[in-house]
Chains A and B, each alone.
Chain A
Amino acid sequence: MEGVGAAVAFWTLAGVTLFAAAGIMFSRNLLHAVLLLILTFIGIAGFFVLLSAEFLAMAQVIIYVGAIAVLVLFAVLLTPRAGRDNGESKMLLPAVLLAVCLGAVVLFVITDTSWNTVPSAPAVEHEPKVAASDLGEALLSTWILPFELASVLLTAALVGAILLVRSPEEEAEDMPS
């Protein structure tokens, strides 16, 4: 994707995502924070589209916005007094200090490493377009091990969650009476 439209799209998208990300930090209401989180996820999906990796963009929306954000919303629902704002905490000063140090490190990494960015000259014609099918083959051929490991991990997490939430009477009925 190149041309004036793409550049305009990129900068607006970057602006929206950064504004939302900052908003998560500074918003006083828990629910506002979660919604801004969803906005950042959508922003990132927009970046993938700009990089013409549509499959990844759609996967990002489905997984992050469709599932993980909804589960975070559920968590917000279950915490009592979710609407309250996170008032002033004494830890403000150390937090700022830590933030500044981290910011310095990140900035140093950005400026120092040499990204092999594509020269802004006219882009290369035969852009290697990764189709969804190539992704599929790669997942099941070269990266088969992590794929299977991930599924095992997820099932374990699922079973763990169910065990965690079982109510006393369900537990009683499984005890060897």
Chain B
Amino acid sequence: MSGIVRSEPFTLNIGPQHPSTHGVFRVKVTVDGEKIVDAEMVMGYLHRAMEKLAEERTYTQNIPFTDRADYLSSMSNNLGYVLAVEKLAGIQVPPRGNAIRVIMAELQRIANHCMAAGTFINDTGAWQTPVMWTFREREKIIDLFEMTSGARLTCNYMRIGGVAFDLPREFEPRARQLLEGLPGFFDEFEGLLVQNEIFLARTRGVGVVPPETAINASLSGPMLRASGVAWDIRKADPYCGYENYDFQIPLGYQGDSFDRFLVRIEEMRQSARIIGQALDGLPGGPHSTQVPLALRPPAGDAYARVEGPKGELGYYIVSDEGPSPYRFHIRAPSFINLSVLKEMVVGGTVADAVVSLGSIDIVIGEVDR
């Protein structure tokens, strides 16, 4: 009896030109009615062969490349690369440099999560209202970046051995003013959305990733923590003096899109705490050590990683004592977090697919490198 109504599958392209793929990224979706039967990712629209170009430039010239990998969190990218080179060349960073690096990395995390949370709710359909709210806070942080590094988005602020310039005089008062406003904003933002029935209906149980699959698929960052796996490199492998700041790691319950949203909001609160503590104990002294322009690290390889806003951001650099890295590889969290997209999407509807994709929070610059 049931064989009477047959509907043959129907392929649909979400992307590359699509309002909610956060950049040029395409998912070829085979749809049966509203239910998705199969999904295939097509990437590479923004592939700029960054790893090939890096072999042509000196270690210091590569820093602006890392800005453009994940153009929404350039500070964390710089930090990852600079730590890898310092590990390879064995360079020590003065305490003030480390403290400034922590402040900048955490400010960048708040800015990124503002963007991620805002656009995620945008994908569920709220007419840009949450994005405008989070962008208002993000603007304040970007003003701080512009004040210190001169650029809003691709700051190019970290140097091998420390940071490019010291903090300007008016950085601290402006940062304190921002920190006073943030907790109020987070509570208001979370309060508005967490009990919103429509938002709950659209995100609860959508794009679920169980903990075993998360570990097995080498996910990292909010994706991993939302599935209940307590793994944060700032706690597990502290760099730049994270061990002497007191903060906690948020964990989700069942690894669905709603938990990722909760984890990101909580992470922003913890970052605000870290910045407060870092600003209080900002040590004096030089902000970076002198490094020869033609740095020639000894032959060998080094892999250093940072807890970027999107996950574990690693840099694997191989040196053959030449002025330029022999091999320069970026471990991009957005790229690897996408490996579970098919499992999250198949079985749901097109609307769920868009919400799941938004909850992974990908940036195409980092996915395609």
> Which A residues have a C-beta under 8 Å from some C-beta of B?
78, 80, 163-168, 171
Q: Is there a chain A Cβ closer than 8 Å to B2's Cβ?
A: yes
Q: Which residues of chain A are near B4, meaning CB under 8 Å?
A: 164
B5 beta carbon closer than 8 Å to chain A: yes
Closest to B7 in A: A78
Within 8 Å by CB of A171, from B2, B5, B7, lies: B2
Size of interface on B: residues with Cβ below 8 Å to A = 6
Instruction: Classify the interface of chain B: helix, strand, loop or mixed.
Output: loop
Nearest B-chain residue to A171, judged by Cβ: B2
Report which of B2, B7, B8 forms a contact with A168, defined as CB distance below 8 A.
B2
- Residues of chain B within 8 A of A171, CB atoms compared: 1-2
Rounded to whole angstroms, the CA-CA distance of A103 and B117 in the bound complex is 69
CB distance from B8 to the nearest CB of A (A): 8
When chains A and B are docked, how far (Å) is the Cα of A166 from the Cα of B1? Answer: 9
Q: How far is the CB of A105 from chain B (nearest CB, A)?
A: 37
Bound: A78/B6 CA distance, A: 10
Are the CB atoms of B5 and A165 closer together than 8 Å?
yes
A168 to B6, CA, bound (A): 11
Complex Cα spacing A78 to B10, Å: 13
CB pairs A–B below 8 angstroms (12 shown): A78-B7, A80-B8, A163-B1, A164-B1, A164-B4, A164-B5, A166-B1, A166-B2, A167-B2, A168-B2, A171-B1, A171-B2
Closest 7 CB pairs of A and B: A168-B2, A171-B2, A165-B5, A166-B2, A164-B4, A167-B2, A164-B5
Chain B residues 1-36 with CB under 8 Å of chain A are 1-2, 4-5, 7-8
Residue of A nearest to B4 (CB): A164
**Chain A residues positioned under 8 Å from B2 (CB to CB):** 166-168, 171
Q: How far is the CB of A161 from chain B (nearest CB, A)?
A: 11
Could you tell me the distance in whole angstroms from the C-beta of B4 to the nearest C-beta in chain A?
A: 6
Docked complex Cα distance between A172 and B7 (Å): 19
CA distance A167 to B1 in the complex (A): 10
CB under 8 Å from chain A, chain B span 320-354: none
Cβ–Cβ < 8 Å partners of B1 in chain A: 163-164, 166, 171
Given A164-B5, A167-B2, A171-B1, 9 other A-B residues pairs in contact with their CB atoms under 8 A: A78-B7, A80-B8, A163-B1, A164-B1, A164-B4, A165-B5, A166-B1, A166-B2, A168-B2
Please give the distance in Å from B129's CB to the nearest CB on chain A. Answer: 33
Chain B nearest CB from A78 CB (Å) reads 8
Write the chain B residue with the least CB distance to A170. B2
Point out the residues of chain B lying under 8 angstroms from A164, CB to CB: 1, 4-5
Query: Given the complex, which residues of A lie within 8 Å of B8, measured CB to CB?
Result: 80
- Distance to closest chain B CB from A71 (angstroms): 15
Return chain B residues, CB-CB under 8 Å to A165: 5
A80 — nearest CB in chain B belongs to which residue?
A: B8
